[in-house]
Chain A
């Protein structure tokens, strides 16, 4: 079992739709949480950090549930440019490196 689990998708949604991705992590020592975005044949780039209180950045909302070891990302009013793979990422106490989920692919259609 992978340490960070994601539904691989693909999620095919029309423009303007709201879409939600979920992620679970198994290591209770996980300390910091992120969503990264990766376009086809490109490097991963930070989309947003995820905080226990939940946080929002424009059309994107991230939530963390430490008790259930569950992270979510909500995208409202989807744009064609949101088409990408979304990677759930954690770090652990005392370890600087990022641990990646396998990613969820999103395709927004006109």
Chain B
């Protein structure tokens, strides 16, 4: 099993540009999570899905952030327009029912 796959690993973009982060969960997992990690705020939940349906998006910072899960094997997190304060490491994780969580390697986003 390849684990949770995130792309890109690193992204550097200019303020105002659209950024799309991608995640492929482990096959068969029915939960998918997006987290953001910064030095100041640590690991914060942005949104999570169950069976491709968003369950809790209360952590999404503002309307500039959106997340979709069009099918069981793919999810995107989009930031439009991006701002320097969005610079962080974004992790995707998946799990099956009450089982353990597996995190992807993360996308390190820098907005200049």
Chain A positions near chain B (C-beta within 8 angstroms): 2, 42-46, 87, 95-103
Residues of B in contact, count (CB < 8 Å) = 20
* Sample of 30 A–B contacts (CB below 8 Å): A2-B42, A42-B105, A43-B91, A43-B104, A43-B105, A43-B106, A44-B91, A44-B103, A45-B103, A46-B100, A87-B43, A95-B56, A96-B31, A96-B48, A96-B50, A96-B95, A97-B33, A97-B45, A97-B48, A97-B56, A98-B33, A98-B45, A98-B93, A98-B101, A99-B45, A100-B35, A100-B43, A100-B44, A101-B42, A102-B42
Number of A-B contacts (CB under 8 A): 36
Could you mark each residue 74-112 of chain B with 1 if its beta carbon is under 8 Å from any beta carbon of chain A, else 0?
000000000000000001010100001101111000000
Residues of B within 8 A of A42 (CB): 105
Q: Across the A-B interface, give the 8 residue pairs with the lowest CB-CB distance, nearest first.
A: A43-B103, A100-B43, A102-B42, A97-B45, A97-B48, A44-B103, A43-B105, A43-B106
CB distance from B7 to the nearest CB of A (A): 14
Give Cα distance in the complex from A98 to B91, angstroms.
13
Min CB–CB distance A49 → chain B (angstroms)? 9
Most chain A beta carbons < 10 A, residue from B56, B93, B103: B103
From residue B3, how far is it (CB to closest CB) to chain A in Å?
9
Q: Which residue of A lies closest to B106 (CB)?
A: A43
Measured between C-beta atoms, what is the minimum distance from B51 to chain A in Å? 12
* Closest beta carbon of chain A to B48's beta carbon, Å: 5
Q: Are B50 and A100 in contact (CB under 8 A)?
A: no
Q: Are A44 and B43 in contact (CB under 8 A)?
A: yes
Indicate whether B12 reaches chain A with its CB closer than 8 angstroms.
Answer: no
